[in-house]
Amino acid sequence: MRKSSFFFTLMSFLFILLGLAGVHATLAQKFGLTRIQKEAVIVKNFGLTDLCLFTEASYTRHISQADLNTPFQDSPMTLEHFPSGSLVAPPKHVHSSLPSGSVVYGIGGGFPGLLKYARNVCFPPSFSVSSGIGCKTEPNQP
């Protein structure tokens, strides 16, 4: 077998796997949407506000409802120590005033920003889901 033929066979195999992943995604979405609709009904019936993702602390369980002084609400001098704290972005007014925060945001935002920019250039969005809505962790400005 020629080396090029082997390479094309391998590429074809990988493309087939990718295609199967696409088929799986399409089929799984049909079942997933039924489940999501059920969840949405529960959210409506009981007036839920948050996903059950981080149950390690009260302020990570309901991140959209937490106090503005979290994590210090638990006691003064309580430093953030829960692993999920590293996933949740700090409020913008915090990172913009600190050099370290700017570094984290700069690095963290660099690649996704580039990705988003490339996406918008190549595939312009038809609508924006969260346009004009700021992050909740900032104080409300009514």
Q: Smaller CB distance to other proteins: residue 47 or 99? A: 47
Q: Is the dihedral of CA 47, 51, 69, 133 positive or negative?
A: negative
Listing DSSP states for 86-105 in one string gives GTSPPPHHHHTT-HHHHHHH
Nearest approach in angstroms of CB 19 to other proteins is 10
Nearest approach in angstroms of CB 21 to other proteins is 4
Nearest approach in angstroms of CB 79 to other proteins is 14
Q: Smaller CB distance to other proteins: residue 10 or 78? A: 10
Nearest approach in angstroms of CB 100 to other proteins is 11
123 Cβ contact partners less than 8 Å away, ≥ 6 residues apart: none
Q: Smaller CB distance to other proteins: residue 29 or 78? A: 29
Could you tell me if residue 29 is left (phi over 0), alpha (psi between -120 and 50 degrees) or otherwise beta?
alpha
Distance CA 11, CA 16 (A): 9
